[in-house]
Structure 1
Amino acid sequence: MISQLDMFDSPPPAGPVVKARPKAPKSLGKSGASNEEMAARLTATGDYRILRRLPVRDVVANPRPGFPRIGMLVDTETTGLDHRVAEVIEIGMVAFTYNDDGVFGDVIGIFGGMQQPSKPIPPEITELTGITDDMVAGQAIDIRRMEEMLQPADLVIAHNAGFDRTFCEKLSDVFRAKAWACSHAEVDWKNRGFEGSKLGYLLGQCGYFHDGHRAVDDCLALLEVLLYGPDAALPGLIRSSQRTMARIWAEYAPFDQKDRLKGRGYRWADGTNGTTKAWWAEVAADDLEAELTWLRTQVYLRAEADPPVQMISAVDRYRK
C-alpha cells in the first residue's frame, strides 16, 4: 500500500520559514552554575516550580521509516468568534508523521501566514493575540502553499476543532474533505491529572511556557502537550478520531426535562444555520441503543419515541 509520504519525491513543502528562537545562555551570574543546575536546585527545595521555554523541534527533511501517516496541527487567529462575519488574520500548521498505533514520528513541516482583514482588528483581539493592524497590513495567506502542505494529511487536529474547522474551511475547501480531531473535547485531561483544559494551563502543567495566542506557537505547544509523559495523549486522540459517533436530536422533548438532558451532556441548538432546534448529544455508535432507551424511558416516557439520529465520522465531525 502506498502511504501519503510516498507521494513526495521530497518532504512536503514546509511553507514560510519559521526560525527557531535563540537559545538561553547556559549559565547565569558568577557562580558558573548552568541554568539547568540552578533550576534543579530551586525545584529540589519544594518551594518552586520551574517553567522552561517551549522547545522548538527540528523540521526533518528525511522522516524516519515506519511512520506512514501524516497529522496536521492547526490553529487560527480571527477577528471574532462568529464565523459568519469574522475573518482569519493568522493560520499556523505543523505537520508530523505517526504510525497506525498513533505513535509520533517526526515534524515534517511548519507553515504560518497572516492576512489583512477587510476591517480593522478589534482592540480586544489585538489585546488577546498581540496581532496589530500594522502586522497584517498588505499580507495575504499563501493558500497554494498551505494546500500543498495540507493535501496529504490523514488527520487534522485542533484544540478547539469546532471553532478552527469553520474558519479553515473559509480559507480552503481542502479542509472539508479531511478527518478532524479535537484535542480539547476528545481527551480526558482531568483524568490525566490536569487541572484545566485550556492550552496555556496544559502547557504550564507540562512545565513549559510559550508565546500564546500566536498560531504557529500554539500548534507547537499543542504538540508537546499531546506528547507529554510516558502515557502520551496523542495515540488515544487518534483512536478516538477513528470512531463513528451517533448524533441524537431529542426533538420535541418535554420542556420540563431540559435539566435532565443538560445534566446528561445534551446541548441546545437554537435552529440557526439550518440546524434542528432541539437538545442534542453525540455518543459512540456502540452506545446508541442504550442512549435511545434512556431517552424513551427517562425523557419522552413513551416506548415509541423515535428521535432523529445522524451517524458522524471524523470527516463530518465539528462541521457547522
Structure 2
Amino acid sequence: MTQDKDAELVRQIEADGDYRVLRKIKPPRALQDRNLKEGTRRIAILDVETTGLDPRTDSIIEIAVMTLDVDWPHDSAVLSNTVPMTWLQDPGRAISSKITAPLTGLTNEMLVGQQIDREAVVKLLTGADLIVAHNARFDRAFVEAFYPEVRGGKWACSCVEIDWLAHGYDGKSLGHLLLQAGYFANTHRADDDVWSLFHLLRTVAPGTDGRSFLDLLIERSEAETVLLKARGAPFSLKDQLKSRGYRWNAEEKVWWTEGDYAHYLTEKDWLVQNDVFNYTSEMIDASRRHL
C-alpha cells in the first residue's frame, strides 16, 4: 500500500469505535541543539537487566542510558537527546532460562566475554541532574551497588511518581502504559525500554492543558516529601494500611508511606487514632528517594 492509502485505512479504523490502532515506536534518533538555554537540565533515562532481584548476590548483565537536555522550569521541552547507549556484561556464570529470552531478549552466548564500559556509564550518570527509571528503587539499588561513584545522585521513578490513574491509564507496567497511549515496541532489551520510556514521557498527559508526562515527573521530583514509618502496628491494621497506600519494608519491619506535608499530617493523626505511637518521619528529596 502507498503511504496515503495506509493513512486513510488507519483513519477509517480509528473512526470505528470497535477498533484501536497501535503505532510502532519509531527507531531512536538523536536531536541536537547547539543553542541550549540557560537553566537547561540534563536528564538520564536508564534501564538495567540483571541476573536476579538482589544486588548483593546478583549482577547487572545489560545497562542502557540515554541523555536529554530539557527546558526547565519552563515546560520541560526536549532541546536535545542522544540515542540509547547500551552495554552487556558477562556475569561469569550461566544465567537462568527465566532471565534469558523472552524476558530480557538476552542469551548466555550473547554475554560471553562482554564487559560494560564502566567509565562511560559513570560519566553519563554523574553528569545528569536527574536519573529517571521505570522502577527506580530496583535500578538504583543495582546501579549504586556496582557504580558507587553515582551514589548521592537525584533519581525519579516514572512508575510511582506519576499518577497514571488520574490521567486515565490503568496499570503501571511500561508495556501496558505504551499500549494505552497507542504504541508498541518489539522487544524487552534495555535500550528498547529506555527509548520506549522516553517516547511515553514525551506524550501529553490528559487533563493537563498540554503538559507532558516528563514535565509532571520533573516537577514531582523537585518537591520535598515526608517519609513516614510506622513500627509495631498491630496485625489487624494490615489491610487498612495497605488500602491507605502504605508499603511493608521487611528488612526494617516497618510500614511506610511518602507524600506531601498534608499527607503526613493526615496519616500521623490516623496512626495515633489507631494507637500506633511508634512512628518516625523525615524530609526526602530526589537524592534520598527510591533507596
TM-score (norm 1): 0.81
The alpha-carbon distance between structure 1 residues 109 and 50, as it changes in their structure 2 partners (threshold 3 A), is closer
User: Residue 155 of structure 1 corresponds to which residue in structure 2?
Assistant: 130
Gaps of 5+ in 2: 205-209
Could you list the per-position Cα deviations for residues 75-100 of structure 1 after superposition, in whole angstroms to 9, with x for gaps in the alignment? 11111122222211111111111122
1:118 pairs with 2:83: no
1:217 pairs with 2:189: no
1:317 pairs with 2:289: yes
Q: Percent identity?
A: 35
1:103 pairs with 2:80: no
Measured after TM superposition, the shift of residue 128 of structure 1 is: 0.8
Could you list the per-position Cα deviations for residues 185-233 of structure 1 after superposition, in whole angstroms to 9, with x for gaps in the alignment? 0111111111321111111122211123211111111111111123311
What SS does the corresponding residue of 2:274 show, helix, strand or coil? helix
User: Residue 223 of structure 2 corresponds to which residue in structure 1?
Assistant: 243
1:194 pairs with 2:169: yes
The one-letter code of the counterpart of 1:39 is V
Q: Distance in 2 between matches of 1:205 and 1:257?
A: 35
Q: Is the 8 A contact 1:59 1:110 kept in 2?
A: no
Of 225, 250, 255, 1:279 maps to 255
User: Residue 177 of structure 1 corresponds to which residue in structure 2?
Assistant: 152
The count of aligned residue pairs is 282
1:79 pairs with 2:51: yes
Larger Rg: 1
User: Residue 61 of structure 2 corresponds to which residue in structure 1?
Assistant: 89
Could you list the per-position Cα deviations for residues 90-112 of structure 1 after superposition, in whole angstroms to 9, with x for gaps in the alignment? 11111111122251222135321
Measured after TM superposition, the shift of residue 122 of structure 1 is: 0.7
User: Residue 291 of structure 1 corresponds to which residue in structure 2?
Assistant: 267
Measured after TM superposition, the shift of residue 294 of structure 1 is: 1.9
Q: Is the 8 A contact 1:250 1:279 kept in 2?
A: yes
Q: Distance in 1 between matches of 2:265 and 2:15?
A: 53
TM-score (norm 2): 0.89
Q: Distance in 1 between matches of 2:201 and 2:55?
A: 27
Gaps of 5+ in 1: 1-26
User: Residue 207 of structure 2 corresponds to which residue in structure 1?
Assistant: none
Measured after TM superposition, the shift of residue 146 of structure 1 is: 1.5
Q: Distance in 1 between matches of 2:289 and 2:25?
A: 30
What SS does the corresponding residue of 1:128 show, helix, strand or coil? coil
The one-letter code of the counterpart of 2:273 is T
The alpha-carbon distance between structure 1 residues 231 and 100, as it changes in their structure 2 partners (threshold 3 A), is closer
Could you list the per-position Cα deviations for residues 252-284 of structure 1 after superposition, in whole angstroms to 9, with x for gaps in the alignment? 22333223222212222223xxxx222222222
User: Residue 59 of structure 1 corresponds to which residue in structure 2?
Assistant: 30
The alpha-carbon distance between structure 1 residues 44 and 256, as it changes in their structure 2 partners (threshold 3 A), is closer
Identify the range of structure 1 (250-259 vs 239-248) with the bigger mean alpha-carbon deviation. 250-259
Alpha-carbon RMSD? 2.0
The one-letter code of the counterpart of 1:117 is P
Measured after TM superposition, the shift of residue 170 of structure 1 is: 2.6
User: Residue 204 of structure 1 corresponds to which residue in structure 2?
Assistant: 179
User: Residue 43 of structure 1 corresponds to which residue in structure 2?
Assistant: 14
What SS does the corresponding residue of 1:247 show, helix, strand or coil? strand
What SS does the corresponding residue of 2:45 show, helix, strand or coil? strand
Measured after TM superposition, the shift of residue 50 of structure 1 is: 1.8
Q: Distance in 1 between matches of 2:159 and 2:18?
A: 31
Measured after TM superposition, the shift of residue 65 of structure 1 is: 2.3
What SS does the corresponding residue of 2:143 show, helix, strand or coil? helix
The alpha-carbon distance between structure 1 residues 214 and 63, as it changes in their structure 2 partners (threshold 3 A), is farther
Q: Distance in 2 between matches of 1:63 and 1:114?
A: 31
Q: Is the 8 A contact 1:96 1:109 kept in 2?
A: no
Q: Is the 8 A contact 2:84 2:194 kept in 1?
A: no
